[in-house]
Structure 1
Amino acid sequence: MCRHLAYLGPPATLSALLLEPPHSLLRQSWAPRDMRGGGTINADGFGVGWYPLLAAGGVRAEERSDEDGRSGPGPVRYRRAGPMWSDPGFPELARVTASGAVLAAVRSATVGMPVHESACAPFAAGDLLFSHNGRVTGWPRSVAKLAERLPVTDLLTLDAPTDAALLWALVRHRLRGGADPASALAATVSEVDAAAPGSRLNLLLTDGRRVYATTAGHSLSVRLAAGAVTVASEPYDDDPAWRPVPDRSLVVADPTTHTVEDL
């Protein structure tokens, strides 16, 4: 399994979000509290995606106006194939990089799947960042029929031959067809669950303004506090504001509110 987190709110450094809390994503990479379904650590890579803040003087790339303080080109990603604790450069980057919209993940690769930075979340397209915590049972045969419905170019350009990358392609295909993000996640969970019963399908998606997430076979918690929302596989501290999300749920959240619906 993996662990992931999304944050929307006032600008915070990557270090404050991912490294400094007592049960941070860094600590979860070697001491996760909940690894149901197999695995004991998340040492097969990690990734962080964030939306840049306004440049100095308020000049925005591509000169487009946006009220949320984000830069025009879209999110920036930093992905590595090794464990977060073994990357000597990331703490320095995290200390000086701040954002009001972040998605990050640490990876525990399913046996037989590649360990490479291209297999690490977040996956990206345009303004979107995506992560998957879980696994698809019977991979790859169980979802071959679903993959057949995708454009050939999508299959040829998967980030990696993994279940997470295919899930991202299925979600992205629905989004391109006009589905809203919440519907795209819910429909993807439904069709994959039907094709591969017993799969663990905690999906996490953000456009930098809202976070969309599903729980299906694994843990998820939400915290609303001080004009910010954090959606995470595990609470990273003991703040009583954390609320567990029931299994088989769809979460839609922004910095001031969130909704939880049955899948």
Structure 2
Amino acid sequence: MCRWLAYTGTPILLEELLYKPAHSLIDQSQHSRLRGDAGTTNGDGFGTGWYTEPSDDPLDADETPALFRGVEPAWGDRNLRDLSAHVRSGLFFAHIRASSPGAAVQETNCHPFRHGRWLWMHNGGISRFPELRRDLMLAIDPALFPLVEGTTDTETMFHLALTFGLVQDVPGSVERMVGLVEATAEQHGVPDPVQMTVAVSDGVRIWAFRYASRPPAPSLFYSTSMEALQSLHPENANLRLVSDRTRVVVSEPLTDLPEEWQPVDESSYSIIEDGKDETFPFVPRRG
């Protein structure tokens, strides 16, 4: 399974989380601890998407997030290493990919995926996706269908959520998307089709989902209060860089500080904005 992180808070250089922690995302690309029988390596491409600070310059009015993706293993990509040492952001996503069977290693299959202001990334999968793909693709809004560039279940899920009104209602659209996948799988005799953690952002807030048709879902954690951690670990220079409104959501903890990471409940989603987070139950909707 893939590994990902989502960050919101004090603007920092991307390298502070991608490279510097003891168990950074780049370290996880070779030495994942929580993938279990799926293996320890995530070497089938990577991606990062980030939002820049608002500008008063009318010539700088592009509000879409930046996106950088590649098909090389993340640990060996010199461009990613250089970029992360120079790009600073207060909200960014990063993802390292372990491809599903039959999903090609190509740039259009690397996360995050982007639509206007929106970013989307995913860990998990749809069971026997090639058998369900045609029916699921046909459920995508015809206006969105030409925008699907790759072959992954993740991109299909994203465009289904957009079809179901992601821009207006993020939780509702994801619940309807999962409901459709489960109903379609049932018609094809595919049991327990969905395993997922999903991160979504509009550049202001982050939504993080954890769900499985049959638990357990893939692992997901969020950082606890930065103020508490700074007092517990005054020697940690990285923690001193950020304010208490900072939050990090990860597939796998970045450090060995157990009090820093709380597991996300099964069948739930969180909304994170300006250091505040609320958690709600996640229930797929059919029809």
TM more than 0.5: yes
- Asked if the contact 2:208/2:269 (under 8 Å) is kept, the reply is yes
Whether 2:119 is the aligned partner of 1:129: answer yes
- Identical-pair percentage: 29
Shift in CA distance, 35/154, structure 1 to aligned 2, threshold 3 Å: same
Asked if 1 retains the 8 angstrom alpha-carbon contact of 2:28 and 2:42, the reply is: yes
2:49 matched residue in structure 1? 49
Structure 1 residues 33 and 60, CA gap change in structure 2 (3 angstroms): farther
Deviation for aligned residue 1:142: 2.5
Q: Which piece of structure 1 moves more, 77-86 or 30-39?
A: 30-39
Aligned match of 2:198: 203
1:84-129 deviation per Cα after TM superposition (whole angstroms, max 9, x unaligned): 1111121111111100010110000011111011110010011110
Q: 1:230 aligns with which of 226, 244, 248?
A: 248
Indicate which of 248, 268, 271 corresponds to 1:249. Answer: 268
Instruction: Indicate the residue corresponding to 1:18 in structure 2.
Output: 18
Matches within 5 A, 1:100-249: 100-175=90-165, 179-196=168-185, 197-216=192-211, 217-224=217-224, 225=226, 226-239=244-257, 240-249=259-268
Q: Distance in 1 between matches of 2:161 and 2:37?
A: 23
CA distance in 2, matches of 1:151, 1:123: 17
Give 1:69's aligned residue: none
Partner amino acid for 2:281?
Answer: D
For structure 1, which segment, 234-243 or 76-85, has the greater mean C-alpha deviation from structure 2 after superposition? 234-243
Instruction: Give the alignment's TM-score, normalised by structure 2.
Output: 0.81
**Kept after mapping to 2: 8 A contact 1:123/1:131:** yes
- Give how far 1:246 is off: 1.4
Match of 1:262? 281
TM-fit CA distance, 1:237: 1.3
Match of 2:87, as an amino acid? Answer: T
CA offsets, 1:3-23, max 9 Å, x none? 111111010001002111111
Q: CA RMSD in A?
A: 2.0
Correspondence for 2:232: none
Q: CA deviation at 1:61?
A: 5.0
SS in 2 for 1:215: strand
Bigger mean CA deviation after superposition, 143-152 or 111-120: 143-152
Q: Partner of 2:32 in structure 1?
A: 32
Alignment partners' CA distance in 2, 1:179 and 1:118:
26
How far, CA to CA, are the matches of 2:53 and 2:13 in structure 1?
11
- For residues 251 and 200 of structure 2, the distance between their equivalents in structure 1, rounded to whole angstroms, comes to 13
Unaligned residue ranges in structure 1 (runs of 5+):
65-71
**Contiguous gaps of at least 5 residues in structure 2:** 186-191, 212-216, 227-243, 283-287
Paired letter, 2:111: A
2:27 & 2:221 partners in 1: Cα distance?
17
- Structure whose CA Rg is larger: 2
| Partner Cα distance (1:97, 1:202) in 2 | 26
CA contact (8 A) 2:47 2:67 kept: yes
Change (3 A) 1:188 1:223: same
Q: Could you tell me the TM-score, scaled by structure 1's length?
A: 0.88
Quickly say closer, same or farther: Cα 1:260–1:143, change in 2 above 3 A.
farther
Distance 2:3 2:98 in 1: 8
* Equivalence for 2:233: none
| Mapped partners of 2:203, 2:88: distance in 1 | 14
Q: 1:192 to 1:36 in 2, by over 3 A?
A: farther
